Amino acid sequence: MKKTLSLLLALVMLLTAIPMAFTSCSDGEDDDPGADIHLFLSNRIYDLDPTLAMVDDDAAQVLSLLYEPLFKLNADGSVGYALAKSYKIDKANREMTITLRKTYWSDSKRVTADDVVYAWKRILNPNYENPAAALLFDVENALYIKQGGKDEETMSISTLGVKADGVDKLVISFRKDLDYIDYDEFLRNLTSVALAPVPENTIGTNPAVSDNWSKRVATIVTNGPFTLSALAHLSGEFALQRNQYYRRSKNSDSSISKYVTPQLLSTTWQTMDMSYEEYEKFLTENVIIHFADDEGNQNMKDSFYFIGELPIAVRASDKYAGKVITNDLLSVSSCVLNMTAKGNPALQNAKIRQALSLIVDRDQLAKDLVYAKAATGFVTPGVLEPGKKTDFRTDANALIATGSKATEAENLIEEGMQELGYTDKAQLGELRLLYSGESINDGYTAKVLKAAWESLGFTVILDAAYGQQRTVANDVLVLDSVLQMNFNSNWSDCRVDEDDLEEPEEETEEETLEEGETVEGEEGEEEEEEIEGEEGEEDVEGEEGEEDFEDEEQEEIVIVDTTADVMLIDYQMLATNALATLAGFALETSGNGYDKTDISSDGSKEYSYSLTPHVSGYNSEAYNALIDAAYNAKNAEERAAALHEAEELLLQDMPVIPLVFNQDYYLISDTLTKITANEYGMPVFTKAYQKGYKDLLLYGEAEGEDEDQ
């Protein structure tokens, strides 16, 4: 079997690094060692902060294994319990109280309500650009805090309508100035991994830790069924070990296998920076799926049991016909256009932007990518109509032509050039397209866009971003995310101040919750018990007099001084909430906080403050008014009408060009069972079972090793 040297070296490194991690806590009553499942994923991931899963499907997939939000999303649009074990709603006072189940961070400390409060305040920090803030704008003062405060009172983060009541209770106060609060929709927001708790005690206020805690094995702490145990950016290997403290304390006698079946997910990414053609060749020659009836006596050391990336040529062939599993994602591959003064001036013309969209043959692109669907709007299937459990997309018109409209595009180019005063297509100039050089889909899509846009008269420069281009210091790599999303070619505007995985048993009905219902007698749910005097464990109580976030200057770290005109990203729908999805393009709800400018002429530091628009620079008064109308709607029908009109206007103005609705796809060995997908389309490995794993040593059998090793 063919293997790369880097893969073998990485596996040896993992073998030497991992055993120490298993000695910290007994597996419990049956000491089931659990399987080591060998996976191949695609893009490398550089940051495992749950608030950063915005523009990368691969990051979202891994983060959903590491962090558990308060609730999980069921197929019918209802919610089930995850970190939460009960909730109550007081509609008269517009309050919701959520009680957390007893569970622990991977460092054995209790997950507390204060950790949730801290995570949400971090998202709402006006110095911290984060579109997930829109998921919280129904909370009292959340919007005003994100905007820097409408007055001195609401500027303080301490006025946020979220408080911890002891260790396990979260009390949420909702806005009194709105006529309509959709509590069911808010509960669905809480199924998003972006709103999962983060460990306040770990992150703290030390910038050296707060900026990098989720990028290193030594500092990362997670509350989901898995945690990070090995990470090697250069070789492209990492490992997720089951969290020994997930749903159990370090003094527990119960077996961890009761909660999480696999011991280890040994994961491989591509091993070096390659063009997509080189990457396809690498996959074809080196990544082999294990099937029990394959010839060659394949075993764990030379084949994978789960593959999440396939070369396009293999996808289009019948090699794995009937064996590839697909799930629709709440994600759309999109081009974000730079409409600011730093971008190509032609992009400030709406007709030019529309032409760039019309020329793209989405049907053909989806057919070529195989596991994708031509986008008909910006909001993806799976996002729900306000007040209903039906798709927003189903109730909307198709807003984008899926086939190429070359004649219409040419006409719009001519009209746009006239409006700009251009007389020659050469004046259209260059479009620099920034995309991930580590993604097969992005590499292929970038070449399709280049050909299409050059047919209109542009000169298109493809700018592939790789991991080392985004290296900033001390081997810490910056994630390409909306938080840092800008038009610099290194994607590293570093402004950060610092799954619903309990799988239901097979053939059982999904758990649907009624208000006030608590979780009792669940499999995998340990009885509540107070743990006193644990080393490193202390109850976290609410503190008064919370300090406001410091209004400190943010430095932009720029390595390659190049401005892009277009960014190709996977735009994640953070939840099934259409309002939160579309709010990011409105000025007041962009989640980007405010710009602070020194307007003094004598150095006295007199500042002016202005809200920061969407990263594209898009700021439409008409669009802003529609989003404001949606927030202030008197009922679900009014909200839905405003949102459908807003999406239509967005795609007329075209600051973003949706291309294809993304799908997750993967091959699973026939010896691997009980892998399901959550309602966000992400695979769930919590109860995955590998047949015969006890008969195998880690990565190979005791005898019969290949002679070429």
Mean pLDDT score, 167-188: 96
- What confidence tier does 587 reach under pLDDT thresholds 50, 70, 90? very high
Report pLDDT digits (tens) over 480-501: 333 234 444 333 332 223 332 2
Mean pLDDT score, 542-556: 34
pLDDT of residue 270: 59
pLDDT of residue 542: 34
Local structure of 661: helix, strand or coil? strand
- Check pLDDT > 50 for residue 536: no
**Any idea which of 137-146, 163-172, 289-298, 360-369 has the lowest mean pLDDT?**
289-298
Going from the C-alpha of 83 to that of each of 6, 63, 149, the distances in angstroms are 38, 15, 31
Give the type of residue at 385. E
Of the ranges 146-150, 410-414, 534-538, which is most confident? 410-414
Of the ranges 89-103, 122-136, 244-258, which is most confident? 89-103
407 vs 16, higher pLDDT: 407
Report pLDDT digits (tens) over 367-386: 999 999 999 999 999 999 99
- What confidence tier does 403 reach under pLDDT thresholds 50, 70, 90? very high
What gap in Å lies between CA 370 and CA 663, rounded to an integer? 9
Tokens of 598: 């020194």
- Check pLDDT > 80 for residue 284: no
* Spatial contact of 647 and 582, defined as CB atoms under 8 Å apart: yes
Q: Which residues of 352-376 are buried (b: 16+ CB within 10 A; e: fewer)?
A: bbbbbbbbbbbeebbebbbbbbbbb
pLDDT of residue 576: 95
- Check pLDDT > 60 for residue 151: no
* Averaged pLDDT score across all residues of the chain: 77
Mean pLDDT score, 241-250: 88
Tokens of 7: 């893969």
Report pLDDT digits (tens) over 406-434: 999 999 999 999 999 999 999 999 999 99
Report pLDDT digits (tens) over 186-245: 999 999 999 999 998 888 765 556 778 888 888 899 999 999 998 876 666 788 999 999
Mean pLDDT score, 663-686: 87
Going from the C-alpha of 696 to that of each of 71, 302, 626, 665, 701, the distances in angstroms are 36, 13, 60, 27, 5
**Any idea which of 344-358, 548-562, 692-706 has the lowest mean pLDDT?**
548-562
Residue appearing with tokens 């939000």:
69
What gap in Å lies between CA 523 and CA 515, rounded to an integer? 21
496 vs 110, higher pLDDT: 110
418 vs 307, higher pLDDT: 418
pLDDT of residue 515: 52
Going from the C-alpha of 251 to that of each of 110, 669, 686, the distances in angstroms are 13, 36, 22
pLDDT of residue 55: 55
pLDDT of residue 493: 31
Angle at 314 between CA 309 and CA 319, to 5 degrees: 115
pLDDT > 70: what percent of the chain? 71
174 vs 11, higher pLDDT: 174
- Check pLDDT > 70 for residue 345: yes
Local structure of 558: helix, strand or coil? coil
Going from the C-alpha of 56 to that of each of 42, 174, 379, 571, 600, the distances in angstroms are 11, 31, 16, 7, 41
482 vs 462, higher pLDDT: 462
> Shortest CA distance to 57 belongs to which of 571, 566, 567?
571
- Check pLDDT > 50 for residue 280: yes
pLDDT of residue 512: 46
* Spatial contact of 573 and 380, defined as CB atoms under 8 Å apart: yes
Element (H, E) at 63: helix 57-66
What gap in Å lies between CA 496 and CA 212, rounded to an integer? 10
What gap in Å lies between CA 639 and CA 424, rounded to an integer? 45
* Spatial contact of 244 and 24, defined as CB atoms under 8 Å apart: yes
- What confidence tier does 97 reach under pLDDT thresholds 50, 70, 90? very high
This prediction has a pTM of 0.81
> Shortest CA distance to 241 belongs to which of 222, 214, 215?
222
**Any idea which of 226-235, 619-628, 635-644, 694-703 has the lowest mean pLDDT?**
694-703
pLDDT of residue 120: 95
